């Protein structure tokens, strides 16, 4: 974990410490076992594992707990994503989507702490290869409920290392298989792909490869992005 992400996680713990553990947490007994529910009280917050919190993260504010309960456990849930002990992209989307939806009414320092975490998580992702998440999965999670992904794309375009470039190569396979719609996510992604920034990054990466074989994937990805950019340009005429 990069130091800026570690700092962001600690800041979330500090800011959200005001949300104390309730004496009892309501849950659907048909969905949640008594032992699972008890563990959330018996185990200290920072010692809770992915196994302890996985089902709660999925069911929070539906069949297990209320918003206050979610806010109490949120720092540890976010830390488990930072540690990659949670590595389910669908769960990341669920948690980030919940944070986006409800976070609009949280205090200013809570919103700021979450935003710092989101940006640091993305930077940490770009700096790590191989990764348990995909770039498309990360961006879709960060863009839940029409949240702008432009800040993350701008960071990507300005990150000049091999890991970030390899994520871009991997990404070309994902976005070509996606079905575009009218979401803000798709408009922002199209704008970025057509801007020339990702193409420039891939050209630099391909030229830096030590051999033709190792650079082949970068060249193929570059051809895909250039072709998609040309298609976008033709569509806008």
User: pLDDT by residue (tens digit) across 47-102?
Assistant: 999 999 999 999 999 999 999 999 999 999 999 999 999 999 999 999 999 999 99
Q: How confident is the model at residue 131 (pLDDT cuts 50, 70, 90)?
A: very high
Exposure string for 213-225, b = 16+ CB within 10 A, e = fewer: eebebbbebbebb
User: pLDDT by residue (tens digit) across 135-183?
Assistant: 999 999 999 888 999 999 999 999 888 899 999 999 987 775 455 666 7
Q: How confident is the model at residue 215 (pLDDT cuts 50, 70, 90)?
A: low
Provide CB contacts within 8 A for 91, sequence distance 6+: 54, 57, 58
Q: Three-state SS for 64?
A: strand
Structure tokens at 87: 């590595």
pLDDT at residue number 195 = 87
Contact 173, 135 (CB under 8 A): no
User: pLDDT by residue (tens digit) across 71-85?
Assistant: 999 999 999 999 999
pLDDT at 2 over 70: yes
Nearest-CA neighbor of 51 among 85, 11, 15, 13? 85
40 or 218: which leads in pLDDT? 40
Nearest-CA neighbor of 231 among 203, 190, 199? 190
Place of tokens 């809770």: 48
Q: Enumerate helices (H) and strands (E) in the chain, giving the number of each.
A: 12, 0
Distance in angstroms (rounded) separating the CA atoms of residues 165 and 198: 9
Contact 219, 206 (CB under 8 A): yes
Distance in angstroms (rounded) separating the CA atoms of residues 39 and 43: 6
Q: What percent of the chain lies above the pLDDT cut of 90?
A: 67
Predicted model pTM = 0.92
Contact 124, 164 (CB under 8 A): no
Q: Tell me phi and psi for residue 164, to 5 degrees.
A: -65, -40
pLDDT at 203 over 90: no
């Amino acid at each position: 974990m990069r130091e800026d992400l570690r700092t962001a996680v600690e800041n979330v713990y500090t800011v959200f410490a005001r949300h104390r553990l309730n004496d009892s947490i309501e849950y659907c007994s048909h969905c949640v076992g008594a032992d699972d529910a008890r563990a959330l009280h018996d185990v200290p917050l920072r010692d809770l594992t992915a196994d302890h919190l996985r089902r709660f993260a999925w069911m929070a504010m539906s069949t297990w707990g209320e918003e206050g309960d979610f806010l109490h456990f949120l720092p540890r849930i976010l830390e488990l994503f930072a540690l990659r002990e949670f590595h389910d992209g669908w769960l990341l989307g669920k948690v980030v989507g919940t944070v986006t939806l409800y976070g609009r009414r949280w205090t200013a320092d809570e919103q700021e702490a979450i935003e710092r975490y989101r940006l640091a998580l993305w930077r940490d992702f770009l700096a790590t290869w191989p990764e348990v998440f995909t770039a498309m999965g990360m961006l879709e999670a960060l863009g839940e409920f029409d949240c702008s992904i432009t800040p993350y794309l701008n960071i990507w375009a300005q990150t000049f290392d091999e890991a970030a470039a390899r994520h871009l190569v991997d990404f070309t396979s994902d976005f070509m298989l996606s079905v575009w719609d009218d979401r803000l996510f798709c408009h922002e992604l199209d704008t970025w792909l057509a801007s020339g920034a990702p193409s420039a990054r891939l050209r630099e990466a391909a030229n830096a490869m030590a051999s033709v074989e190792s650079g082949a994937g970068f060249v193929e990805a570059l051809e895909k992005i250039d072709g998609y950019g040309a298609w976008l340009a033709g569509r806008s005429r």
